[in-house]
Amino acid sequence: MIIKYYKIFFINITDNTLIQLFRYIIVGGFAFFIDFGLLIFLTETLNIHYLTSAAISFIAGLGLNYFLSIKWIFQNRKCQNKLNELFFFSVIGVIGLIINEIVLWLFSGTILTFHYTISKVISTAIVFIWNFTARKYLLFNQDN
């Protein structure tokens, strides 16, 4: 019984949105650790401004997210051309980056003075919802 569910949640190809969301949470977690760790390293160790660090670290997380998304989460491919797919995946990611930067700026750079790491956690939740929804329904959905 455990093996059956293991295969359903981790191995089998699926179009089930809940299973894809479960997998996207795992992938997003890995990408978040890369993104968040690099943000702190660049900001605290290399003294790069937190908004610049956030952009660099976000792009690193985006690359990992794309690779794992196409290999493990979304098997339905709307774009047969991999360069076009990467382009649209990145456009969705850039919109997420803009959301990320705005949230960081609003929560850490204006009247609100949260530490940038707190703002990053808030922005991550918002961007996660945007990225999953947009990628699932705009890019990796053959029904469109």
pLDDT (tens, 9 = 90+) of the chain, 144 residues, equals 788 888 888 888 888 899 999 999 999 899 889 988 999 999 999 999 988 998 899 889 888 988 999 889 988 777 888 888 889 998 998 899 899 889 989 998 877 888 888 998 999 899 999 999 999 988 887 665
> Could you tell me if 51 and 123 are in contact, meaning their C-beta atoms sit under 8 angstroms apart?
no
The total domain count for the chain is 1
What is the rounded CA–CA span in Å between residue 105 and residue 99?
10
Would residue 144 count as lying in a domain? no
- Token output for 49: 């401004």
How far, CA to CA in Å, does 3 sit from each of 15, 21, 44, 110?
20, 20, 44, 51
Would residue 39 count as lying in a domain? yes
Domain housing 28 = 2-139
What is the rounded CA–CA span in Å between residue 92 and residue 106?
21
> Could you tell me if 62 and 30 are in contact, meaning their C-beta atoms sit under 8 angstroms apart?
no
